[in-house]
Structure 1
C-alpha cells in the first residue's frame, strides 16, 4: 500500500513538473492583432479570458502533422472541439497562422507558403482575433462587432450556446488519432427533423430518429421552419422539431460538449474538474449497434458484451485499421451465379438494401428468391407468419439476442467457411472468452478498460446523486410550497418552463416603454410593441377579461408550448404576476392582413394566393397535426399577420377551449368570434368543431377576392343576414370560371390557391381586385352552393 502511495505521489509530482515546464516555455495571449502571426514552433497560444479554452497549433503525439485548433484547457487529453484544417494538416515546421494586414483575413499557411485555410470574410476594419469564454474564436473590429466566428463553421462538436442551423452540420472524425472528416453527420434533413445519417461515397442511411417509425411517433414534428438546435449551459439539448434531452447532471457550472463520435453516436459529455476526465451524461442511441455504417459494408456489429465489429463469414477487412472501409469478399462474385449455399447466422439482420419484401412467405420460397444474381443473402423473420427480406447488399449487419430471425448469407458452394465462434456462444461472455473470439479484430471503441470502468463508476454515482437531489427537491416542494393552484395549472407551468422564458412584469413594462406603442386590440386583450434586453422586437399582449381565471390562462400556455409552425405566430415567453398576465410573441413586420385588403395598399394576386395557401396550412396544422385539437374560433383578417416577405402567420389561436381528438362531441359553451365571420353553428347552438374555422377562412378568402369587408354587409335582421354572401357567390359564379376559383377546404375538383383567370375585365397583374364579366360554360358545383368535405355550406 505504501509503495502505491509513493508511486502516486511521484506521478503527480512529475505531471506538475511537466506542466510547469511546458508553461514556462509557452506564451499565451488574449488576442492576435491584425498584421501579427503565430508560428508552429513559437509555442504561442490564444486563451480565453477565463482560461477554459486554448487556441493554437495542435499536434498528435508522434506525428509531424499539425492542426490549427481549439481545445479544452483543463481536460486531461486536451479535447479538441474545433479545427480549421481538419482534412488538410500542416507541417510541424514552418507553418503559420496570421491576420493579413491588407484585408483582415485570417490565413493558415504551410511550410511552403501555400494557403491551407482562410476565413471567408474580407473586412477592412478587422482589428484582432479573440477566443471567447464560450470557446468561440472571433474576428472583431475596433467597435467590438464580430465579423467572423468559428461557431459558424462547426466540425464534430457543439458547445453550449452554439446554435446548429439548417445550413450547418456536425461531422464525425474518421478514426481515432485523426481529425479527418468521417461519414457520420448530425443535421436537419429535408423533412426539417434533426437527424443522424451515415453518408459515405457508396451509400447513405438515416438511423436516428428510428427510421422504422414516422416523425410524430418519434416525438418530432416536420412543421419546423426555423430548424435550430442548441445545447444550453444547464445541459439541456433542444431543437425546433420538438426534440429535447437532458444531461444526467443537469445544472449550471459544468463544462459540457455535444459531440458526434467516430462510432456515429451523438453524446453529451461533462468534464469532471477534479480529474480532467469526461463522463457521458446522455447519448442518442443506447444500443450502439443500431448506428448504421458503424462496421461498414459487409461488417457485423455484435455485443461481446461490449460492441465489436467482425466481418460477415466469407469476407475480410479492406483496411485492418479502419472499419469504415468495411469488408470485401474472399471469393469471386461471379461464383455466386453457379452453385451456391446459404450460411445461417441466427439473431442477425442487415439494415436496408431490400430487393424484395415478401410477407407470409416460407423459408424455402425465400431461399429460391435469393438465387437471383443480385442477391447477397436474405433475412427471414419468424414472428407470426414468416417475413422474407431479400438483400442486394450486406450493409452494416447487427446481432442482437432479442432479434426474432436469422440472416442467410449466400456463398459459393466450394468456399469452406464456418460461422464465427461468437454465434455459437450464449449472450453472456466473460472477458477472456471475448478476447479469444475477437483476436486481431479491432474494436470500434479504442478506450482503455480502466478509463471505461471509472467512467461507469462516475456515471453510477452521478445518477444516484441526481436521484437523491430529486427526492430532496420534491420533499421540500410538498412541505413548504403553497398548493392553491390547480394541478392542471402546475402541469402546464412545468411543461412551459422548460421551453419558454418567464418574464417579470417590470421587465416587460420597461421593454414596452410603459406600454406606450399600441399595435392593436381585440376581445382577448391589447397588444403593444416592445424591445427586449437582447434587442429582439416583440409584441406583448396584455390579456383581458377573456380569461376568467388562471385555469384558462394556463390552457393557452400549455397549448402554445407545443405548437411550432411557419404559418403560426411564435410565442417567446409569458408573465404571470398577481393580476398581470402578459404573453410575449414574435413581432411581425407588415401588421395584419386587413391593413392590406381594405385600403389603397392592396396585395397583388400572387401575394393573395400565397396568403390564402399559408393560412390554410396553418389551420390544417392546428386541426390535424397538433397533439391537441386546436380550434381557433375567430379566423379573420385582423388575426392573420404578414411578415417581411408577406407570408401569413395566424395569431390569437389557443384562446378557445380545446377539444380532444378522441372526444368529437365536446362543445364550446362561450360564444367566441367576430360578427360576419361566425359560422351558423354559433346561432343554431350546435356543437362547435373545426368547421367554424373553415367557414371563417372562406369569408376571408371572399374578402381577398372582392376587396371589400364582407362583415360590413351583415344586416340586423337575422333572416336577411346571409343575403350579402349569397349575392356575392352568385356574382362570382356568373363572372368567373368556376373550376379555377377556390375558396379553401377540400372540394370536388377544386384546389386551393389557383389564380382567377378573367375572360374580360381588369388586367390580372393589377393590384386591385376585380370581378370578370361573362358566364361560365356550364353550371358546375364550384364550392359556393354544395356542402363541403366537412359537411357544411359556405
Structure 2
C-alpha cells in the first residue's frame, strides 16, 4: 500500500512538473511543418535544436523595434548570433512572421505582409523545417534529405563542420551590437588563397595573409583549386590552400565558432559553460591596427594601450557611433590648394598606400616642398632607410601608429590652424565625445570577459545544482513508475524508430534478412550486393565487402562518420556490421537499379531524365567534395555506381569505400590504385597524389556516355592502348567540330535513339563539361561545385531541337 502511494505521489509530481514545464515552453518547437508559422510577438515562439544548443527565432537589438530572424547560441550570455536571414533589412516588432507555406517555401514577412526573405524551395518536396545540433537550419523532405540549409548562406560566423567554399564568404558586422553587413570579408580569392579583405567605401585591399609577402612565404599554396575550408569539432581550421589553424584549447566537447568581427579580425571563440561568455582561442592578427580601413578615412589606429581610433590634428570624428566614417577636416579643405600651408609631424604613424610617388634619395626639406607644391598631396611620409625616402600621399587611408615604426607622417594643414598639442592623437581620441567612439577596436571579449567570469560563476553553479536535483527526482520517478510495468509501447516504438536510422547490425541479423545471402543484386571490385528485408519491414541492399578493408576498430570508426553523410543524391547507409572477419554495409534499396541498366540497354532514358541524372550526380559529388562532414573522394564514379530511384532521380552508391580501404598517406592522398578501367583518371597510372579531380574525370566520362548513349571505354572488347586511343579520338573529333564552328555539330554526337528529341543547349553544355572534366591535366578540370552551377543555369532552358514534349 505504501509503495502504491509512493508511486502515485511520483506520478502526480511528474504530471505537475511536465504540465508546468510544457505550459512555459508551449510555443517552443523542435520542427515546423507546412502551414506552421513563428510570430515576432511570441516571447517563446522559436525553434530549438534537439540538444538545446541553438535557438532560432526573432531577436532584436536592445531598445529598438527592429527584429531579425536569426539563430543564436542558447546558452551564451549575450545570445550570440551565428546566422541571420534578413541581415540588412530588419522587420517590425509587431505583425512580422515567418511562414512555412504549403508550397514548401519558408518566408519572412514584415508588418505590411511584404516578403523580406524567402528560401528557394518552391518546387521541391519539402516536409519539415528544423534546427540541427550543429546550428544548421534545414528544410527536409519526407526521406530526411536536406533540400535547403542555412549553412549555405553564412553571415559573419562559421560553425564546426560548416564549409566555406568558392562562392561563400563571411562578412563582418557593421559595428559593435549591429547585425548589418560591414566592410570586412573572409573568402577565397581568384588565386585559390583564403584571404581577409577590407572592402570599405574608399578602398578595397587584402590584409591577411601579410600582403607584403608572397603566397609561399605566407605558408599557403595557390595550386589547389578546390577552394574549401572548415572548422572541425576539435578546434582545427583546415583550408585547401594548406592553411591549418589550431585553437589553443583544441579537443572535443567544446562549443566553438569562427567569427570575423566588426573590427576586421578573424577569431576562434570557445564557450565557457559556467559563465556563458566567450574566450578567444585564436586570432588571425595579433595587432588589430594591421586591419586595413578599420578606422575610416583620415583616422589613425593607435594603441593606448588598447587599440583605438583617433583623429589627427585638424580633424574631428565624422560620426561618433561609426568609426568607419572616419574623421573630417575642421578647416576649409580648399585652403590646401594654396601655398599658405604648414605640416604637422606625427611620429611613428603612417598611412597604407595612395602614394603619388616615391622618391629617393631626397632630403626632408625637398620632400616637404614636393608635397606643398602639389595640390593633390595631403601628407607625406619620410623615412631614413640608409638614405632619405619620400612618400607623397594623395589620400589618408588605413592610418596606424606603432612605436617601432621608423618614420613620421607630415600632414598638410592651413597656416591658420592653431598649433597642435604634442599628444594630439590621444587628445583627439578623448574629444570624440561618445562611449562608442571610446570603445576598444577589438572584440569586447578580448579585454573584459575575464572579470565577468567571477561575477557570474556562483549564480550559474547554483542553477546547475538545482537542475541536477530536479533531474535526479525525475529519474527516480520514472524508475518507480515503470520498473514493474516496463516502458509504454508508444515510447518503445519511438525509440526503435530513432535508433534505426543508423545502427550496428549483427552478422546473424543480416544473414536472416538476406535469406542466407541468396538474392544477389550485383557484384563489383569491392564486394557483392544482396537484396534483404530487415525485421522492421524495410527493404535494403546489403553489401558484403572483400578482404581489403581495415581492422575492426578502425572500420567501425570510419563507417560511423560515413553514416552521418546525408544528401538526397547519395544512397542512404542504414547501418553496418563489423564482426570477426565480416564487413558489411546496409543501404537503402533503390528501385530502378543502376544507370547502366537504363542507358546501354533497349530500355533507355529520355533526354529529360538524362539531364536530371547529370545534375543530381553532380550535386552528390559536390556535396562529398565540398560540404559533408569529412572530405570524401569516391574514386570509382561510373554508371554502375549511380542508382536510380522510383522517380529516376540519381543516388550515388559506394561513396566512402575509398576512405575505408585506402589509408596509405596523409590528408586526402591515396596511394593504392582502385576504380574501374575506362573511368580512372590518368594520375592513377602515373602514381600521382589522388585528389577530388579523379571523381571529376570519372563524371566526365559518364556524362559523355549519357549524351552518346554508348560505352566510350569498353575494356572488355579492346586492349588498354586501343581503348585509350578510342577515347582520345572521340574527344579530339568533338573538339575539332566545335573549333570549326559547325552549327549542327552536337546532333552527330547525341544518342540517335532519342530521334532528335533533346534540348540542344543542354546537350552542348553537357558535352563541353564532359570534355573539360576528362582533361589529362587535372588542374584544368573544373570542380564539381562549378559543374553544378553551370548545369543549373541551363536546367530550365526552353530551346528545343524538335517541338515535341520530351
TM-score range, shorter chain: 0.5 to 0.7
Is 1:540–1:585's contact at 8 Å kept on the other side of the alignment? no
Residues 417 and 181 of structure 1, relative CA distance in 2, 3 Å threshold: farther
The whole-number CA distance in structure 2 between the counterparts of 1:364 and 1:542 is 69
Of residues 407, 411, 414, the one that matches 1:412 is: 414
Aligned to 1:263: 263
Residue 419 and residue 246 in structure 1: after superposition, are their counterparts in 2 closer, same or farther (change >3 A)?
Answer: farther
Could you give the per-residue CA deviations for residues 538-578 of structure 1, whole angstroms, max 9, x where no partner exists?
599989xxxxxxxxx87999999xxxxxx99699x999xxx
Alignment match, 2:550: 504
C-alpha contact (below 8 Å) 1:512/1:529 kept by paired residues: no
Equivalent in the alignment of 2:732: 604
Of 211-220 and 361-370, deviating more is 361-370
Range with greater deviation from structure 2 (105-114 or 352-361): 352-361
1:648 is matched with which residue?
776
Task: Provide the secondary structure at the position in 1 that maps to 2:731.
Answer: coil
Mapped to 2, the partners of 1:236 and 1:256 lie a distance apart of 10
Aligned pairs for 1:111-150 within 5 A:
111-150=111-150
Query: Does the 8 A contact of 2:731 with 2:771 survive in 1?
Result: no
Deviations 1:476-506 (A, max 9, x none): xxxxxxxxxxxxxxxxxxxxxxxxxx98366
Q: Quote the Cα distance in structure 2 between the aligned partners of 1:143 and 1:134.
A: 20
Asked if 1:70 is matched to 2:71, the reply is yes
Match 1:535 to one of 651, 655, 666: 655
Deviations 1:705-741 (A, max 9, x none): xxxxxxxxxxxxxxxxxxxxxxxxxxxxxxxxxxxxx
Q: Distance in 1 between matches of 2:255 and 2:172?
A: 21
Contact in 1 for aligned 2:550/2:660 (Cα 8 Å) = no
Cα deviation digits, residues 369-409 of structure 1 (max 9, x gap): 21211111111122322222111110021000111111110
Whether contact under 8 Å (1:314, 1:331) holds in the other structure is yes
1:389 is the counterpart of 2:435: no
- Deviations 1:414-453, CA, capped at 9 Å, x for gaps: 22241462669xxxxxxxx999787654223573898344
Asked if structure 2 preserves the Cα contact closer than 8 Å seen for 1:172 and 1:185, the reply is yes
Structure 2 unmatched runs, 5+: 1-19, 456-547, 559-581, 587-633, 642-651, 672-680, 702-712, 714-719, 739-769, 780-806
The CA distance in 1 between the partners of 2:245 and 2:61, in whole Å, is 33
Query: Is the 8 Å Cα contact of residues 538 and 585 (structure 1) preserved in structure 2?
Result: no
Q: Distance in 2 between matches of 1:237 and 1:396?
A: 29
Which residue in 2 is equivalent to 1:109? 109
Could you tell me which residue of structure 2 aligns to residue 331 of structure 1? 331
Mapped contact 2:259–2:268 kept (Cα < 8 A): yes
Partners in 2 of 1:315 and 1:385 — Cα distance? 32
Backbone CA RMSD of aligned residues: 4.2
Written as runs of structure 1 = structure 2, the 5 A alignment for 1:370-385 is 370-371=371-372, 372-385=374-387
Partners in 2 of 1:184 and 1:87 — Cα distance? Answer: 15
Structure 1 residue 287: Cα displacement: 0.2
Map 1:194-593; keep pairs closer than 5 Å. Answer: 194-338=194-338, 339-371=340-372, 372-419=374-421, 421=423, 440=434, 441-443=437-439, 444-445=441-442, 447=444, 451-454=448-451, 504=550, 507=555, 529=636, 535-536=655-656, 538=658, 586-587=694-695, 588-589=697-698
Q: Distance in 2 between matches of 1:568 and 1:387?
A: 54
Question: CA offsets per residue over residues 218-251 of structure 1, 9 Å max, x none?
Answer: 1111222111110111111111111111100001
- Distance in 1, matches of 2:61 and 2:341, equals 48
Query: For 2:659 and 2:25, how far apart are their aligned partners in 1?
Result: 56
| C-alpha contact (below 8 Å) 1:81/1:156 kept by paired residues | yes
Deviation at 1:356, TM superposition (A): 1.0
Taking the aligned partners of 1:442 and 1:570, their CA distance within structure 2 comes to 60
Deviation, 1:134, is 0.5
Contact 2:316 2:428 in 1 (8 A): no
Evaluate the alpha carbon distance shift between residue 151 and residue 600 of structure 1 in structure 2; reply closer, same or farther with a 3 A threshold.
closer
Greater relative contact order (CA < 8 Å, ≥ 6 in sequence): 2
TM-score w.r.t. the length of structure 2 is: 0.58
User: In structure 1, what is the equivalent of residue 59 of structure 2?
Assistant: 58
Cα distance in structure 2, aligned partners of 1:260 and 1:83: 15
Pair 1:584–1:328, CA change in 2 (3 A) = closer
* Cα distance in structure 2, aligned partners of 1:511 and 1:420: 78
Q: Which residue of 1 aligns with 2:801?
A: none
Q: Which residue of 2 aligns with 1:688?
A: none
1:450/1:376 CA distance change after superposition, 3 Å: closer
Give 2:182's aligned residue. 182
Q: 3-state DSSP class of the match of 2:416? A: coil
CA spacing shift, 1:528–1:417, aligned 2, 3 Å: closer
Q: Which runs of 5+ in 1 are unaligned?
A: 1-19, 425-432, 459-501, 514-526, 544-552, 561-566, 576-581, 611-641, 652-794
Bigger helix fraction: 2
C-alpha contact 1:539 1:585 (8 A) present in aligned 2: no
Please name the residue that 2:34 is paired with: 34
Q: How has the CA–CA distance of structure 1 residues 22 and 540 changed in structure 2, closer, same or farther, with 3 Å as cutoff?
A: closer
Cα drift, residue 207 of structure 1: 0.8
SS of residue paired to 1:604: helix
Helix, strand or coil at the partner of 1:603 = helix
How many residues are treated as equivalent by the alignment? Answer: 516
Alignment of 1:630-641 (within 5 A): none
Are the equivalent residues in 2 in contact too, given 1:314–1:417 (CA < 8 A)?
Answer: no
* 1:226/1:240 contact within 8 Å kept: yes
